[in-house]
Amino acid sequence: MSFFNFNPRLEGDSYPVADLPLCAVRLMKDANYPWLMLIPRKQDLVEIIDLDDADQQQLMREIARASKVLRSVINCEKLNVAALGNQVSQLHVHVIARFRDDAAWPGPVWGAVPAQHYDPEKADDLIEQLRDAFSSEDE
């Protein structure tokens, strides 16, 4: 792949988890909701339609894969998938584990409550579980 830069906000708001063929997978730094973000590693993308057809299909496969991994690790009741980009225009897709008793249910997570920082040990443990789940998906 060609040279690629993360938007500094996306990078600062998340931890690295895995690299898929198209996307970097990152865990959002908000312990209120287990929340993955997929960022295609290509420059100058704003919308999904900015990807060529093959990469659009690859993105959908990677969203499905990340969704399966997150659900298997978290055992959530619902998954929210969104590509909003209103505050950060660089193309990224959110995959958010939701529970009926989470702080924002049944509404969207954005702005419902302040972000809750992960305890470093809990973040490391969750990232390890996610990495293991992505690795077992490869097999």
**CATH at 87:** 3.30.428.10
Has residue 3 been placed in a domain? no
DSSP state of 42: S
Has residue 126 been placed in a domain? yes
Number of domains present in the structure of the chain: 1
Question: CA 6, CA 103: separation in Å to the nearest integer?
Answer: 29
Question: CA 29, CA 116: separation in Å to the nearest integer?
Answer: 8
Has residue 119 been placed in a domain? yes
State in Å, rounded, how far the first CA of the chain is from the last one. 24
Has residue 1 been placed in a domain? no
Single pTM value for the model: 0.93
Q: pLDDT tens, position by position, for the chain (139 residues)?
A: 456 788 899 999 999 999 999 999 999 999 999 999 999 999 999 999 999 999 999 999 999 999 999 999 999 999 999 998 888 999 999 999 999 999 999 999 998 999 999 999 999 999 999 999 999 976 5
Question: What stretches of the chain show up as alpha helix (H) in DSSP?
Answer: 8-12, 53-74, 120-138
Segments forming the whole domain that contains residue 78:
8-138
Tokens matching residue 43: 């420059």
DSSP state of 136: H
